[in-house]
Amino acid sequence: MSYSISIERTSALKQKPDFSQLGFGKYFTDHMFIVEYDDGEGWHDARIVPYQPISLDPAAKVFHYGQTVFEGMKAYKDAEGKVALFRPFKNLQRLNRSNDRLSIPAIDEGLALEALKQLVTIDESWIPTEEGTSLYIRPFVISTQAALGVSPSEKYLFMIIMSPVGAYYREGINPVSIYVEPQYVRAVPGGVGNAKTGGNYASGLKAQEEASDKGYSQVLWLDGVHRKYIEEVGSMNVFFKLADKVVTPALSGSILDGVTRDSVIQLLKYWNIEVEERAISIDELVEAYRNGTLEEAFGTGTAAVISPVGELNWQGERLILNGGQTGPLAAKLYGFVTGVQRGAVEDPFGWLLKL
């Protein structure tokens, strides 16, 4: 199957930022992808155009009812200048699972992949190569029908924008401290916690702000029913090393099915490290901390890849993990996954899609 994507190149290339001072999500490349949906017509007019603002009617449904989804993935350039995407099929499958949950029509994954390849190729000079940097790719869908009244939109836009990025956290691969949230919850079974949709993040801002005021960079969410079982961190899944095994919350329906989570589980199994996906209560972690078996904790996500946790604050008790330093397992995982991404380590799982 071949897809037709029209291309309008910019006549004024942007000045590129200093690639050693990128931060996260501050700069955008020269082009973007856009395709429209109308009921009866399906997705149409796929095009790559110069990066630019879009114009929407103030009644566009996305502004009022939050019918929107997004993805986050990365492209890398290896030492020979070859470009690769990291596990893009997983992201596109998840995009359609999120679409389904939000009553948004499915997007042809073949078209989306072709769009990704062409867009990344056109803006290839925006892929930074410094250690810890990459080209972050943000596909997203918004509902655009101009009509008030709660019902699925009859019109949508699917767009892809891209941003050269450095470390997600100011700390880089250094440990973050995390506040275990006792009061607010992120998601409940049957809700939209397993969809990558804007409302999940808007509803978490308040807790994050309060944690930040207390000196913590992220919130660790507990389950919304018992407020007892570990869910995930802001935009990361979470893992704990308990003596000789690693545990991570099972995909219960209220957490996101992370691509990095899946990659880490694959890798741990490949290294013959026992990994369990199951319910983990905060009490179990506190107990393990007290008896010295909670050795490490780390978050996983596309943006930060592996983010070691140096401290967990649970109801005022400060659990300092691995002396507040990056643990050996987190460091090894970070080295391997980012090594594969940069083409510096052999890719035993076929994670990279070379362009």
In the complex with ligand PLP, the residue whose CB is nearer, 37 or 216, is 216
Residue choice 17, 23, 25, 72 for contact with ligand PLP (CB under 6 A) = 72
- The candidate with the shortest Cα–Cα distance to 326, out of 202, 187, 173, 204, is 173
In the bound state with ligand PLP, the residue whose beta carbon lies nearer, of 48 and 280, is 280
Q: Are 137 and 74 in contact (CB under 8 A)?
A: yes
Determine the Cα–Cα distance for residues 193 and 61; give it in Å rounded to an integer: 21
- Residue nearer to ligand PLP on the CB measure, 60 or 173: 173
Residue closer to ligand PLP by CB (options 133, 237) is 237
**Cα separation, 266 vs 271, whole angstroms:** 9
301 binds ligand PLP (CB under 6 A): yes
Asked if residue 191 lies in contact with residue 252, where contact means CB atoms within 8 angstroms, the answer is: no
- List the x/- string, 184-223, binding to ligand PLP by CB under 6 A: ------------x---------------------------
Query: Out of 237, 307, 322, 341, which residue is the one contacting ligand PLP (CB under 6 A)?
Result: 237
Angstrom distance (rounded) from CA 72 to CA 301:
9
Q: Does 241 bind ligand PLP (CB under 6 A)?
A: no
Q: Among 44-52, 136-144, 251-259, 307-315, which window interacts with ligand PLP (CB under 6 A)?
A: 251-259
**Which residues is 85 bridged to in the sheet?**
75, 353
Among 181, 232, 295, 296, binds ligand PLP (CB under 6 A): 232
- Which residue in 18, 23, 29 sits closest to 162, CA to CA? 29
Pairing of strands 134-143, 83-86: unpaired
Q: For ligand PLP, which is the closer residue by CB, 68 or 235?
A: 235
Q: Are strands 6-7 and 176-180 parallel, antiparallel or unpaired?
A: unpaired
Nearest approach in angstroms of CB 308 to ligand PLP is 16
- Shortest Å distance, C-beta 243 to ligand PLP: 26
Residue number with CB closer to ligand PLP (143 or 235): 235
Single-letter code of the amino acid located at 336: F
The answer to the question of residue 340 lying near ligand PLP (CB under 6 A) is: no
Q: Residue 355 Cβ, how far from ligand PLP at the closest point, in Å? A: 20
Selected from 119, 127, 142, 236, the binder of ligand PLP by CB under 6 A is 236
Give yes or no for residue 133 binding ligand PLP (CB under 6 A): no
302 binds ligand PLP (CB under 6 A): yes
* Nearest C-alpha neighbor of 320 from the set 332, 312, 329: 312
Q: Could you tell me where the DSSP H helices lie in the chain?
A: 61-65, 88-101, 109-122, 198-202, 205-213, 259-270, 282-290, 328-341
CA angle 66, 69, 72 (to 5 degrees): 140
321 binds ligand PLP (CB under 6 A): no
Interacting residue ranges for ligand PLP, rule: CB under 6 A: 72, 196, 232, 235-237, 256, 258-261, 300-302
